[in-house]
Amino acid sequence: MHLSHYGSKVPLRLLDEVEFWKRQENEHTVVIQTLAPDLEPKYKEALSKWGEAFAQVDGLATRYLEVIVRSGDRISEHNKQCVLHLLDVSLHQSQLFIHFLHVLKNSSNAPSMSNPVVRIVLDHIRRESEYFIGAVEGVLVKK
């Protein structure tokens, strides 16, 4: 993948997207736990771990943004490769989260999971993660 066709601002834009969506996904873990407080412990624990993982990726995106801005928006080849790696990690993380949401929706026996509102919110959260994946993939050009 390369970013050169889009100019020097693309890495910043993509990092902004990662930052925003990882915060969203982190907040979504809290929303799920709030709407379904009777989830089985394994799902509660998994949601907590997802939140931590999203926060870590968000933090990395913030650090890379700071590095690029301090460098006058000139991104070294090393940092460019680091950004691309972070994008790959972010996309993969969201894909796995989507899978987790599917498992949660279809496997949890918590009474709250039969609530239509909870199921609609889970579908909405899934679609938002899918949107993030599509938005980033739409900008990246594969060699």
pTM to 2 decimal places:
0.89
Any idea how long the chain is?
Answer: 143
The pLDDT score that the predictor gives to residue 141 is: 52
Domain count, the chain: 1
Q: What local confidence, expressed as pLDDT, does residue 69 receive?
A: 86
Q: Would you call 118 helix, strand, or coil by DSSP?
A: helix
User: Which range of residues forms the domain containing residue 41?
Assistant: 4-139
Residue 143 CA to residue 140 CA, distance in Å, equals: 10
Inter-residue contact 18 to 57 (CB < 8 Å): yes
H helical segments located in the chain: 10-35, 41-70, 77-107, 116-139
Residues 6+ positions from 93 with CB-CB distance below 8 Å: 22, 53, 54, 57
Q: What is the chain's pLDDT, residue by residue, as a tens digit (143 residues)?
A: 444 444 557 788 899 999 999 999 999 999 999 999 999 999 999 999 999 999 999 999 999 999 888 888 678 888 889 999 999 999 999 999 999 999 999 999 999 999 999 999 999 999 999 999 998 888 775 43
Question: For position 54, which CATH number holds?
Answer: 1.20.1260.120
